[in-house]
A and B are shown apart, each in its own frame.
Chain A
Amino acid sequence: CRKLDQPITREYTDAAYWRTNDDALAALSSCYENMSNDGYFFGDEALSDNAYVSGDGFNAVSKIANGAYDPSNGRVTAEWGYRYTCIRKCNVVVLNIDKVPGMDSTLKHRILAEARFIRAYSYFQLVNWYGNVPFYTDLITIDAAKTIGRTDKAQILDFIQSELTDIRSSLPVNNYTGTAGGYAEKDKGRITRGAAIALSARVHLFKSEWQGAVDDCEKLIGNTTNGTYGLMGNYSDIFTTANEYNNEVILDLQYGGGRTFSSQRSFLPQTVALLRSVLVPTQDLVDDYVMLNGKGIAESGSGYDENDPYKNRDPRFEATILHDKSTITDFDGKVQTILTQPGSNPSTNSIDDQGASPTGYYFYKYYDRTASNYNSSLNLIMIRYADVLLMYAEAKNELGQLDAAIWNQTIRALRVRAKFTDAGATEFPGGTKEVLQTIVRRERRAELAFEGIRPFDIRRWKIADVVLNKPVRGIKVTSGAFTKDPNGYIIVENRIFSNPKHYLWPVPTFEHDQNANLGQNDLW
């Protein structure tokens, strides 16, 4: 007769946890893991005018992009739960760390700061998508979660801001030498003081608090007390496994050590990654890359030739996008020429093919040729120094302070790094705030394309109802029976973005069904 008290042998119980530093660090690693993932990182690009997803890929983001969604949408539902799961994990760390006996105070405050950063980041994502959301910092009970109301977005943003300020002093910098105030080599990938400052700058920017953004950026630009940052020599080198942890990186999602992602199979040409290409760049993004002379393609004197459209373009274009006749070295080391025009031979990557890109373009940035079985262990960069420079330029311009000095420190530096040489591109153009705003925004789009930034930029700039309220276009074709716009560009799909309704996602039906106190966003 066996006893009823059977030992649990496969898992720990909570009662036996929080005994060592490693226990706390393991709980913290779970927070990191829930900060973001490759699906959101890449898929969200299709929530902007940079990219398009065909079919139901990336949790059917296309349904959101073309306005065919309601509060029961799977993507809208998933994001809510995903963020609160992370917030709870962070709260677990924050509320339990004191249980660990004899923990070094520096380590304790570092762990607390890391968890608080991740919690702040999660709330930041929540308010950006949903506006007002439930807000708490305790281990909310399930019953309480069924009655909690929503807190004003501004109040949550204030919390985020104060957290990001508060934790700075507890966070080591990015020197990775293990000396005082710096992380050890083994801690590469953790939240740094620089990350807290950069995220704070981003929050200010999203709140149009230009001076706050400037102040934060200046803590990182030309100032090494909060970490040593700079630009990589070569733009495309930033996104390679060989250059992980380069000094342009401020915050990145960690892959490696057996942790991998497979998203690149969805955006590379099907002849390279052997899967249908569903996440693809739009003609709109392609058109926004300037010419080598710094002019937009539509500007007079740009030298743009619609029949040879990829000539003399921003070098970052080639580093980001594959177009007709681009070459790519595939996983087997073979150089492939990508042909996307209809009637190409072979037609495998051309828009005639059902599995090929429907726009005639492919993403190339973040192609990891070292991936084993297509599964990449490349870190995904959430904040990099170039972003800080661009935020700085933007904030300064909004303050009416974008002058040649600031220009040279920011946009010129980025363009020189991108290998622009024409003075038309590198020298301060001058002009009104509005003219410069266009240039700064376009620069931001080109520099940070396919890095998950654009979907939020078009929403905070309130241009989403313009750029997302028109068809997704692909390449210009001269043959074949395609649905085309008057200029001969393929129309892939129409998009609708209702202003102001679509600037916020609705409270998901799943949540609303369980908590009537949540209310609903306007017009939903």
Chain B
Amino acid sequence: QVAFASNMEHPSAGQQVKDTEKPLENRISLQVNNELLAHVLERIEQQTPFVFVYSNDEIKAAQKVSLNVKDKKLAEVLEMILSPLDIRFEMINNKIILRQGGETATYTGVEDVTVNGRVVNNKGEGIPNINVRLQGSSIGTITNDQGFFTLKIPAGQSNGTLVCSSVGYIPSEVGIAGRTNITIMLTADSKDLGEVVVTAYGSQQKKQVTAAINTISSKDLQGRPVTNMFQALQGQAPNLILQQNTAEPGATLTMNIRGVGSLTGNTPLIIIDGVQAGTTGLQNLNPYDVESISVLKDAASSAIYGSQAANGVVYITTKRGTKDGKPGVQYNAMYGWQTPTTLPRNVEAWEYMTLKDEALVNSGKTPQYSPEDIAYWQKRGSEPAMLHEMLRKTTPQQSHNLSLTGGGKNSSYLISLGYLDQGNMLQNKYVNQDFYYKRYNARTNLSVDVSKYVKVNANIAYTKSYYRTQQPDIGFLMRDAMRTPRIYPVKDSLGNYVVPALSSGNVIAALDLGGYNMREEDNLLGGIDVTINPVKHLSFNFNASGNYKINDNISRVNKYSYAPYYTTANPPIYNQLSESSYKDRNTNVYATAEYENTFGEHYVKAQVGARSDATNEFYGLRASRYGTTNLDDQYAIGGGYIPKPDGSYDYSSIGTYNDITNPNLYALNSLFGRVNYVYNDKYMAEFTWRYDGSSKLAPGHRWQFFPAFSLGWRVTDEKFMEDLKRYGNVKLRYSWGQVGNSNIGGYNYLARVTLNPNKYAFNNSPSQGADFSAYNETLQWEISTMSNYGVDVDLLNNKISASFDYFNKNTTGIYLFQVVPGTAGTGSSLQNVGKVQNKGWELSVSYRAKTGGFNHTLTANLSDNLNKVIRYGEQSIQGSDFTYIIKEGFPIASYYGYKSNGLYQNLDDIKNAPAVPFAYNQQVMPGDVRYIDRNKDGKIDANDRYVFGNPFPRYTFGFTYAVNWKNFDFSMFWQGVGKRSQFLRGDIVEAFHNNEDHAFVQHLDRWTPTNPEATYPRLTIGTADANNFAYSDYWLFDTKYLRLKNLQFGYTLPHDILSAIKVQSVRVYFTSQNLLTITPKRFRQLGVDPEFTQYDDKLSNANYNPIAGRNYPNASTFSFGLDLKF
């Protein structure tokens, strides 16, 4: 029997193959120059126990070959000689049988076909112990130490499919397509402990990693109908937290790692293939290009990035070609529909009238609608809700991606093109405008081994994005649509847009007629990386990269009217066309030197580097034209006047105004280094340092040294643990480190004078005014010190792997625009104040199992983090739409206000109640919110306030279950937040807010004498709402949620069909994003998506829209996808 064929009966993984069973392992040396093949074969026969058997008719033994090998394995040598000649070899006992490859088919009719192959990793190295199986049969084998395998397959199956799988690798299916020699590349599954992890300025074996790093592989992102990488990352790694300010097409999300420690931004450093890319780079990245993502969380892993990495690092590696790889073409397409996840629901017309009258009467005012009006509308039914008419129910979205990969002997390439077209829900059936987000991606990644000593990687990515949106701000549109009671149709019977009584217009008319905004963004991101290995163990790395961005904005405001309707609406009365252009350029250069060597059991690596980053930000051109007559896009028609920079208008000339402002220039220069030491693969230590100088800080406070170290111990590799070793591995980790942050605007250390040419006017002429900024001449680094305790476990041969981390991060000298008493009469300056602690933990677990034909994968992550102000000095209370407090012992920006205690039910309740001086007429009424008189002084005032919550998500989790069976695959990904509350205000909460005309379904459950258990207080309107809408926890909502983030169901076409059409693989699938969401009832009723937050990454109250439910809705997406490989 054939030596390898013996494995066919024992295809189980992990079986040890003894040396005697690996004859191709025989090592030979050979030096031949242009010799006849026959002679070469003879010389091999002399060095081995084998004889070659071949037909002279078939094998042209007179071919000449050259070769120079020393102590190489026979199999490799044979490959080297025979492969170029297209000769296949097969071993039977001590004979090696040669056949001409191209004519294999002539034998298939009479006997089995032998397929030789090798399974390699993405570096071209053979992988042992990979299970190789002919799909749909019991024929299989495993690869040897060098990754080679030989498989005999029935002649009729020579167009079948080989399935390669092993724990730790992503299974791969390869069509045989008649070939008898196949190289199969397997990608390491990043969940595995054996993989290589991308770290700062390098990579590391995962088993040697001592810092807190999570990895996400392209597989985790596959088939997700996301429009940008932010969405793709949600829930993928513990304590990588993403929330949204808005969901408008093309919008980014806010991201933080391990919570919020800084008030000047908590966005991690984003690096794509070594290029500092920023959130723009991440937004513009084609998700299909992503190979893997490392999330560097603790100071030890990120400290070498110094000041940019105070908030952790998201390091993205894009796909590359393989050297000596056959050109591969891949096409992916997805087409689907978006629909709002949830929307506020206006009550029926007659209900609105009833509620409005009730609110007016409760507020001592005259009812607006007669019982006859109400009865009429109850009978007639309601108009469709304006909001639901404004937002399309099915909005298309599609993406296409085409990539070409391959490589020659010394080089590899990837070329990819991507296209995304996300429709805008506002482009409803009435709207004759195109609103969309479109993105075109092009990327080329090249790797060239210039010589044995010099390797060059070059990546360049170009993105062109188009954000074409409506003219009015989304917040106003949502607000006005929400405020429209359902007694108004969109258009009247003559086709004119109807204007609701209190509205400033018709939102749909504003969309249809009001013009558009167009933002075109060009983003070029690229870098060149040169590695030189002059001598063994020593390497030098030079990297230069840049991120260049141009924004071109066009704003077109169209004049329109609501005639014949008379209205208080204020449609634009001029046509207006404005353009502006903004440029932003970042360049980074760095150089490192690295020494790496192994001395017996001692492994040592040392690295030093220097780096310089520069930022230029400046406006290029701004121009604007107004006119009462039509303007075309080239400014060709129309008179008008030009706004001048001081805000006044130049009526005399027709033209454009150029505004070239000076750039803001920033610089950051750094020196850094790292030493790694590993003893016996068991004890690991790493020390890193960085010395940073930032131009944004005050002279004398610019340079700062940031050290970090980490330790690791593979406990189960100890002798005394031998008994446990067979169950799995345990590694303990500890790290400590400091990182700095200077992520602030420039020049805060300088007393600056801002001149405004139009501050005041004398004799109707502008008068220049000067304002003096507050400043801080000792502005220095904000420094975070983080300790991390971690344990990694893998059990049952990697079937189960788990990691647990606990961290404690203390940030001192936090940048804060201090709250200044009005008495000081000055603005606030940026200060280094206080100390904030972030403590938390993270758990991630993955499990793989096989039951029958089903392959199951379960992965889960769960994390918690909470910050606490440790030292601050005096508390600071701020906010306008709600108040929040920064106070020692509480999370930053905790909600602050009264605590409610139900509703007053009757006059007796009120008689015994504390006075409420701010209530309407200083008198609360039954059905009003009752506040706790904290200091029991008989009145409700500022002294009765409590800290009553905070907006930080806690117990964030993600959970994925994937299973495949035969050609079917299924996966679902759940994600959510276990504890979170949010303070909501304005229209979404208050019926008839600010005298407006809206009421939602949740307001039906209002307090009345017959509904004492109501969730909403008695209805009021105008200033009569003063008591109920004071800042209190009554309007704090529990916004925890569980969301089916992604559901996928796929089918891979069988290979017998594929071979007929010369396609390597075809997968069709259905995928859905945000299919199902579970939230507490009181919040769910509001129709607000739970992922929204009002905070930006600086914890400043960036956006009022989320608080008032005025966001462009989040989308549920239903898509069909196609993956093709040629």
Contacts and interface: CB of A to CB of B under 8 A. Distances in A.
B922 A68 contact: yes
Interface in B628-670: 644, 646-649, 661-667, 669
A258 B753 contact: no
Contacts of B768: 22, 25-26, 29
Nearest to B774: A142
Q: Which of B753, B759, B767 has the most CB of A within 10 A?
A: B767
A3 B668 CA distance: 8
Given A254-B761, A493-B1023, A509-B942, A515 B823 contact: yes
A175 B502 CA distance: 49
B907 interface: no
Interface stretch (A198-206, A290-298, A347-355, A381-389): A347-355
Nearest to B754: A11
Contact of A276 (B370, B502, B667, B761): B502
Contact of B761 (A30, A256, A510): A256
Contacts of A510: 821-822, 877
Contact of A6 (B367, B746, B758): B746
Interface string A6-37: 11111111111100001101110110110000
Q: Which of B570, B647, B826, B1031 has the most CB of A within 10 A?
A: B826
A369 to B, nearest CB: 15
B501 A29 contact: no
B961 interface: no
Contacts, number: 278
Interface residues of B, number: 91
B919 A258 contact: no
Q: Which of B502, B589, B823, B917 has the most CB of A within 10 A?
A: B823
Contact of B823 (A84, A89, A271, A496): A84
A258 B647 contact: yes
A386 B1022 CA distance: 37
B925 to A, nearest CB: 13
B824 A145 contact: yes
Contacts of B2: none
A142 B765 contact: no
Given A353-B501, A493-B1023, A81 B921 contact: no
B920 A68 contact: yes
Interface stretch (B421-429, B561-569, B724-732): B561-569
Given A258-B646, A354-B502, A515 B821 contact: yes
Contacts of B746: 6, 8
Contacts of A244: 764
Contact of B1023 (A12, A68, A346, A518): A68
Interface string B352-392: 00000000000011111010000000000000000000000
Contact of A71 (B693, B764, B942): B942
A188 B921 CA distance: 46
A373 B644 CA distance: 17
Contact of A258 (B502, B761, B883, B920): B761
A85 interface: yes
B109 interface: no
B825 A1 contact: no
B820 to A, nearest CB: 5
A87 B665 contact: no
B1026 interface: yes
Interface stretch (A72-80, A219-227, A413-421): A72-80
B528 to A, nearest CB: 18
B772 interface: yes
Interface residues of A, number: 107
Interface in A228-277: 244-245, 254-259, 270-271, 274-276
B763 A186 contact: yes
A92 B772 CA distance: 9
B632 to A, nearest CB: 22
A63 B567 CA distance: 28
B462 to A, nearest CB: 25
B752 A9 contact: no
Contacts of B877: 509-510, 513
A55 interface: yes
B770 A8 contact: no
B683 interface: no
A15 B751 contact: yes
B459 interface: no
A45 B822 CA distance: 24
B1126 interface: no
A55 B759 contact: no
A2 interface: yes
A2 B696 CA distance: 13
Given A68-B1026, A256-B761, A493 B364 contact: yes
Given A55-B994, A258-B766, A496-B922, A2 B364 contact: no
Contacts of A259: 758, 760-761, 766
Given A81-B822, A259-B766, A66 B921 contact: yes
Contact of B760 (A29, A74, A377, A492): A29
B821 A491 contact: no
A482 interface: yes
Interface string B733-771: 000000000000011001111110011111111111111
Contacts of A8: 746-747, 750, 752
Given A3-B667, A148-B823, A14 B772 contact: yes
Interface in A344-383: 346, 348, 353-355, 373, 377
A459 interface: no
Given A3-B667, A274-B569, A13 B764 contact: no
Contacts of B901: none
A496 B760 contact: no
Contacts of A274: 567-570
Contacts of B997: 354
Given A145-B821, A188-B763, 7 more contacts: A4-B694, A6-B667, A30-B760, A55-B994, A77-B822, A145-B825, A254-B760
Interface of B: 364-368, 370, 501-502, 504, 566-570, 573-574, 589, 612, 614, 644, 646-649, 661-667, 669, 693-695, 699, 702, 746-747, 750-755, 758-772, 818-826, 874-877, 880, 883, 917-922, 941-942, 994-995, 997, 1022-1023, 1026-1027, 1031
17 contacts: A5-B699, A8-B750, A8-B752, A25-B768, A32-B769, A68-B918, A71-B942, A72-B918, A84-B822, A84-B824, A145-B821, A146-B821, A188-B764, A244-B764, A254-B762, A354-B501, A494-B921
